[in-house]
Structure 1
Amino acid sequence: MRISVIQHTPSEGPGAIALWSHAGGHALTCYHPYQFGRLPTAENTDLLVLLGGPMSPNDDTAWIKQERALIQAMLTADKPMFGACFGAQQITKTLGYPVTAAEAKEVGWAKIYRQTTIIPGLPATLTALHWHQEKFALPQSAHWLFSSDLVSNQGFVLDHKIVGLQCHLEPLADDVRTMVANDGSYIKGSALHQSPAEILAQLVPAENQAAIFAILDYITA
């Protein structure tokens, strides 16, 4: 399988998604449109992964709009996609739904609660990393996947091929350290009231990697 990963900032990499790719013997290519201005095509992509980033889908930036054209091409081709944070917002924006300010700025570790059992193997509760202050609207035909105490729209499943998460289940320990080291100033003002040291002190739950594996297995089955 050819996996195209769109990385939107140096500090937010594929993490456990790369482990899943390696375990399955897939070919993973990371694209950095914010730096190089290049994106894959739907024709050379079997699975599209859209990661998080500090930008907004509402920004008037050429590559952000070009990325949504790629998402539309993937939708037309009926190919699987996974989006995290900004990536999930890009998917819903492409589908015609708004991206707006979230109920609260949510940065740090917090529980998310499963809202559907459509994906086998997901636990009822997970402790996810949150790094956002915007949210997506749930597509009308999607299954609501996760909620949190502060932001209700934490995940959706669409057409058995697309999953979008507002939170992050993909980071490994090194990824969390990288996010805090490079983007730690963003933590200020979070309604979770966690310091950088407190975020780093939280061990990445093993269940998060298992959940990412279950989600990717589901959308590529």
Structure 2
Amino acid sequence: MLILQHTEGEWIGSMNDGFAEPSRVNNFILHTVRLDHGSTLPASDSFDWLLIMGGLMSVNDESDYLWLREEKQLIRQSIADDKTIIGICLGGQMIASAAGAEVYRNSTPEIGWFAVIRTDTDVTWLPETASLLSWHGDCFRVPVGARPFATSHMTPCQGFSLGPRIWVLQFHLQAQSGTVAAFLALEPHGLPEGEYVQRQQQLLSEAFLSRSQTIMHGLLDSLV
């Protein structure tokens, strides 16, 4: 399993617990690559799962982060090879961009535990509505051939699938205890202002963590 991590504090979170369960612990070898640290991407035939995590940069910043082009090419190859892929926040935007869809600046940031609303009843691992962690300024359009499955009041598309084994999430379903604190540490100038930006006290609440983790493990169960 290849994990693409782009920023400190943005790892796979509660997914790690899911892969460590007794029924799965011997089935997965996790390998994390940090392109922002100068790491080299492995060959596409060296992994079967690809987890693409969040980050501070935009998928459109290829002139500042030259490795974004290389990463998008690996994603395109992984899609063509029918690998199991999960992309979260920036990771989801990378998949959208690699698949030819626009990634654009949202009208206002969405940072907080907001309702994610399911729009596709066939997506059984996601409840009809759940308060899940969003933390993004960019968002994506739906690539040709993809199937959107979720929305929110601020973001038209909160997720889409490309076939049964590729899932793109704009929201941070991997959130666990400590995730919000790690994200806040990446905001040296403080949080931006906006109608959909919660205060730190609300963000640090762990009231929604358990359900988020249950849903995350439900997605993994659907793929394993």
Q: Same fold (TM over 0.5)?
A: yes
| Bigger proportion of residues as helix | 1
Deviations 1:43-92 (Å, cap 9, x if unpaired)? 11111000011111111222111101110110121111000011011101
Name the CA shift for 1:190/1:47 in 2 (closer, same or farther; >3 Å). farther
2:40 to 38, 41, 48: 38
TM-score (norm 1): 0.92
2:66 equivalent in structure 1: 62
Alpha-carbon separation, structure 2, partners of 1:54 and 1:73? 24
1:19 to 10, 17, 32: 17
Shift of 1:17: 1.2
Name the CA shift for 1:167/1:110 in 2 (closer, same or farther; >3 Å). same
Code of the aligned partner of 2:87: G
**Contact in 2 for aligned 1:37/1:63 (Cα 8 Å):** no
**Contact in 1 for aligned 2:175/2:209 (Cα 8 Å):** no
1:215 equivalent in structure 2: 219
2:184 to 180, 183, 194: 180
Alpha-carbon separation, structure 1, partners of 2:208 and 2:42? 31
2:120 equivalent in structure 1: 116
2:2 equivalent in structure 1: 4
Deviations 1:106-158 (Å, cap 9, x if unpaired)? 11211100111223232111111111111111123222111011111100111
Count of paired positions: 218
1:75 equivalent in structure 2: 79
Shift of 1:40: 2.9
| Structure 2 SS opposite 1:187 | coil
**Where do 1:90-105 residues align within 5 Å?**
90-105=94-109
Alpha-carbon separation, structure 1, partners of 2:17 and 2:78? 23
| Structure 2 SS opposite 1:206 | helix
Alpha-carbon separation, structure 2, partners of 1:86 and 1:150? 17
The 4+ residue runs of structure 1 with deviation greater than 6 A are: none
Code of the aligned partner of 2:9: S
Name the CA shift for 1:107/1:57 in 2 (closer, same or farther; >3 Å). same
Q: Where does the alignment leave 5 or more consecutive residues of structure 1 unmatched?
A: none
